[in-house]
Structure 1
Amino acid sequence: MAPDTAATSAPAESEVMTAVDAGSLVIADIAREDAWLSMPSTEAPALADCR
């Protein structure tokens, strides 16, 4: 997928995982190539803030 390109539909199957590694929060869809994002774990929102 090209940078800055929005996906128009969700994949038929996805498996999303989250991990904290070396001070970064990483969220990845392991069913797709290059479908991940990361941010400093200190800047990640708390789950309660997302409800």
Structure 2
Amino acid sequence: MEPDTVAPAEVAEDAEVMASVEEGQTETLVIADISQDDAYMTLPLSDAASLPEWR
């Protein structure tokens, strides 16, 4: 059985990644690489993992 792993991605040395929460009808987590145009992702805050879950 093969392990279920993800290949490491290349990371740009000059990348600037930020996260924020947009409030509205649904709170949304936004993660963006501000050094690239259109490099962002969003998801409902309720679907985001908390820091203790990541440990």
Q: Mean Cα displacement is larger for which, 9-18 or 29-38?
A: 9-18
Please give the alpha-carbon distance, in whole angstroms, between the structure 2 residues aligned to 1:9 and 1:45.
23
The match for 1:39 is 43
Following the alignment from structure 1 to structure 2, what is the Cα–Cα distance between the partners of residues 46 and 11? 25
Q: Output one character per residue of 1:14-35: Cα deviation in whole Å (capped at 9) or x when no partner.
A: 1111100021000001001111
Task: Give the total of aligned pairs.
Answer: 44
TM-score (norm 1): 0.73
Moved over 4 A (4+): none
Unaligned 5+ segments in structure 1 are 1-7
State the identity as a percent. 36
Give the alignment's TM-score, normalised by structure 2.
0.69
- When Rg is computed on C-alpha atoms for both structures, the one with the higher figure is 2
Aligned twin of 1:20? 21
